Amino acid sequence: MYSLVFLIHSCIADRLSSCSTAVTVYSCDGKCPSATIFNFNINSHARFCKCCRESGLQTRSITLYCSRNATVVDYNFQEPLDCSCQGQKGTTDPEQC
């Protein structure tokens, strides 16, 4: 079982104003436990799953460069601070993790 924060190299662009910049964004990836176990009391399978998800977010601000009019625009987005294996709220279906 593991979960981790990894980097994605990407380009963020605002298509309406022709603004963009290259950016490295943190994301989550990992393998978390899941199982299905037969429960004789209910004569059915009980399912258990956890998913790799962000366990905290931070707001990040970057500057986009606009080629159309040679200006800059500030752009804010959220990225994970850390990742962990977490249960999916409201479901026991492992396919919904």
In degrees rounded to 5, what are phi and psi of residue 95? -75, -10
7-50 pLDDT, tens digit each: 555 566 665 567 888 888 888 888 898 888 898 999 999 888 88
Could you give the C-alpha distances from 44 to 33, 80, 91, 94, 97, in angstroms and in order? 20, 37, 16, 15, 20
Among the four given CATH numbers 1.10.760.10, 2.10.90.10, 3.40.50.300, 3.40.50.1370, the one describing domain 2-86: 2.10.90.10
Q: Are strands 44-66 and 2-14 parallel, antiparallel or unpaired?
A: unpaired
pLDDT of 16 reads 57
pLDDT of 2 reads 46
pTM as predicted: 0.63
In degrees rounded to 5, what are phi and psi of residue 4? -150, 160
Each domain of the chain, given as residue ranges in start order, spans 2-86
60-78 pLDDT, tens digit each: 998 888 888 888 888 888 9
The answer to whether 96 and 41 have CB atoms below 8 angstroms apart is: no
pLDDT of 68 reads 80
> In which band, very low, low, confident or very high, does the pLDDT at 59 lie, cut at 50, 70 and 90?
very high
